Structure formats: structure tokens, C-alpha cells
């Protein structure tokens, strides 16, 4: 039986607002997506977890630039607990961290969840971050009058 793979898998779509605050997230997430497209699910899961870390930490640094060193040093779960104040982002990111950690550890905690669930939670986290950024920009813009 023969299989064919696309020579260049389609890159995932990332909102511009998110790409601006975390270009490294885009790069890592795209690489993880390519790994998954080529059937490298075990490696892809680790890549998605790493991408999540860049996304959340970069977002938190934009929200608290004076805390950049602390954000970068802390484990991701602590960053979510301490620095993410938007409850929609916090709840999705926290669960993505849980599933992402399962992708990197020997023993899984969430045995009924898989990489699809992790990707969904990252997608939701990206969406809520995009909404938060756009909302802040619109509110700031409309206060000028």
C-alpha cells in the first residue's frame, strides 16, 4: 500500500492580532501542524504544547510588560493562574496546558483526551485572545471623543 503526503501542508490560519504579539507562536504552531500532517503525532503534540507556552507568555508580557522576567521564568500553569485576568482566556488556556502537559509526560492524566482536544483548546484560546485585543483597541479608539 502506498501513501502520499503533500509536499507542503497548508499552514494554519492565525489571526493577525495574535501573530503580531507572538510571531514565535505562529512559527511553532505551524511546524507542529506540519509534523501532524506528516503523521508525526507524538512530535506534533509536544510542538503544540510549546506553541501554547509562547502564545500565553507573549500575551501576558503585552499585558504586563513590567513583569516580563517573571512571566518568562514561571511554569506555564502558574503564568495562566497569576497573569491571565480574562476568565475566558484563563479557562481555555488552563485546560490546554493540562492536555499539552500530557503530550510531554510519560503518564497521561487525561486518558480520554487527545491531540484534537488540545488543538481545539488552543484554537479557542487564540480566539479569545484575538477578541480581547480587538476589544481593547476599539474601546481605546472610541474614548477619544
**What domains can you pick out in the chain, each with its CATH number?**
16-141 (1.20.120)
Mean pLDDT of 18-40: 96
**Residue 143, pLDDT above cutoff 90:** no
pTM: 0.91
Closest residue by Cα to residue 122 from 21, 16, 25: 25
Distance CA 56, CA 125 (A): 9
Collect all residues with Cβ–Cβ distance below 8 Å to 77 and sequence separation of at least 6.
94, 97, 101
| Residue 22 CA neighbour count, 13 Å, CB half | 26
38 C-beta neighbours (distance < 10 Å), count: 13
Percent of the chain, pLDDT > 70? 94
Distance CA 119, CA 114 (A): 9
- Computed over every residue of the chain, the mean pLDDT equals 94
**Residue 34, pLDDT above cutoff 80:** yes
**Which tens digit of pLDDT belongs to each residue from 92-131?**
999 999 999 999 999 999 999 999 999 999 999 999 999 9
Closest residue by Cα to residue 83 from 109, 64, 99: 64
**Residue 6, pLDDT above cutoff 60:** no
Mean pLDDT of 51-69: 98
Amino acid at each position: 500500500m502506498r501513501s502520499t503526503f503533500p509536499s507542503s501542508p497548508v499552514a494554519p490560519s492565525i489571526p493577525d492580532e495574535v501573530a503580531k504579539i507572538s510571531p514565535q507562536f505562529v512559527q511553532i504552531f505551524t511546524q507542529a501542524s506540519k509534523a501532524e500532517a506528516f503523521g508525526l503525532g507524538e512530535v506534533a503534540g509536544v510542538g503544540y504544547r510549546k506553541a501554547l507556552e509562547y502564545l500565553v507568555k507573549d500575551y501576558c508580557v503585552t499585558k504586563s510588560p513590567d513583569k516580563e522576567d517573571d512571566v518568562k521564568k514561571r511554569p506555564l500553569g502558574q503564568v495562566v493562574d497569576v497573569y491571565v485576568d480574562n476568565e475566558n482566556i484563563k479557562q481555555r488556556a488552563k485546560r490546554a496546558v493540562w492536555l499539552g502537559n500530557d503530550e510531554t509526560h510519560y503518564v497521561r492524566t487525561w486518558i480520554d483526551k487527545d491531540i484534537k482536544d488540545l488543538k481545539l483548546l488552543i484554537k479557542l484560546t487564540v480566539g479569545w485572545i484575538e477578541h480581547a485585543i480587538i476589544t481593547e483597541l476599539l474601546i481605546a479608539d472610541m474614548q477619544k471623543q
